[in-house]
Amino acid sequence: MNLILFSEEEIQASGTVTLTDFRAVHIRTVLRAKAGDTLRTGVVNGLIGTSSVQSVTEESVCLSTHHTETAPEPWIDLILAVPRPKVLRRLWPQLAALGVGKIVILSAFKTERFYFSTQWLDPLHYTPLLVKGLMQAGASRLPEVNIRKWFQRFVEEDLDKLFPNSLRLLAHPGEKCTPIPPRQEWHRPVLAVGPEGGWAEYEIEMLTKQGFTPFSLGMRTLCTDTATIALISALMMNMTNGMFSQYAF
């Protein structure tokens, strides 16, 4: 936990915060903070900065906040065919940590409809996991999550509304590499990751007609969480280098 996050409602009018949950335990037992120490802190969907430890007891930790910095902005968006519930649970904190801004959980031909009944699509359950990822990465912007149970309706009605100017990348095993424009010519990318068996042919056709360009890590068929993290990491590496050279790495 590299950044302790609070909600706006937790901060008193005096600028102090009193923690009694896992964050207090972490500050007390892992960081071993004491009165007078300074910690990295921030507000969910708000500024980040530091907090001075006012007091530490067995029951609580009291902090005085000073937040003046803008947190790192999300740099990529994700369209994800709904995975198995246990995989989705593992992915939530990783997606927040990696800097995903918008997440669309989408049905696909090769996904199971009952996956949409999982508790891990309930904000009460996935929001704490997203916050956990943000605290690990030192960020504060909570991803925007959209659930879409109908593939065709999403592509035809919602895609352009959610991602009007994005560089659209379609992840699918074995697809041919395509050169990518220089960095200054493209907008924030949106990456579409299909089921573990890949997108169906008609899904690929519909997405490519909407401006998605095939993007592949090769012929291996990977688990959803492995593939998603590997794909985002590959894009992040090439973005850090200044531009994407080609889609396969």
Alpha carbon 233 to its chain's center: 12
Pairing of strands 76-81, 189-193: parallel
Q: What is the pLDDT of residues 232-247, one digit of tens each?
A: 988 887 766 554 444 3
* C-alpha to C-alpha distances, 244 to 110, 152, 168, 217, nearest whole angstrom: 30, 30, 13, 14
Mean pLDDT of 6-35: 95
Say whether pLDDT at 196 is over 50: yes
Handedness of CA 158, 149, 207, 126 (dihedral sign): positive
pLDDT of residue 63: 97
Report the distance separating Cα 166 and Cα 168, nearest Å.
Answer: 6
Q: What is the pLDDT of residues 83-93, one digit of tens each?
A: 999 999 999 99
Which residues of the chain are in CATH 2.40.240.20 domains? 4-69
The two three-digit tokens of residue 244, written as one number: 């994407």
pLDDT of residue 241: 58
Residue 248: half-sphere exposure toward Cβ, Cα within 13 Å: 13
Which residues of the chain are in CATH 3.40.1280.10 domains? 76-240
pLDDT of residue 222: 81
Say whether pLDDT at 17 is over 90: yes
Q: What is the pLDDT of residues 128-181, one digit of tens each?
A: 999 999 999 999 999 999 999 999 999 999 999 999 989 899 988 775 555 555
Percentage of residues in the chain having pLDDT higher than 90: 76
Which fold, 4-69? Ribosomal Protein L25; Chain P (2.40.240)
- Arch. (CATH architecture) of 76-240: 3-Layer(aba) Sandwich (3.40)
What pTM does this model have?
A: 0.90
pLDDT of residue 170: 92
pLDDT of residue 249: 31
pLDDT of residue 248: 36
- The secondary structure of 124-175 as a DSSP string is HHHHHHHHHHHHHHT---PPEEEEES-HHHIIIIIHHHH-TTPEEEEE-TTP
Say whether pLDDT at 48 is over 70: yes
Report the distance separating Cα 4 and Cα 38, nearest Å.
Answer: 11
- Residue where the block lists tokens 């699918």: 172
pLDDT of residue 221: 78
Contacts of 10 (CB under 8 A, 6+ apart): 17, 19
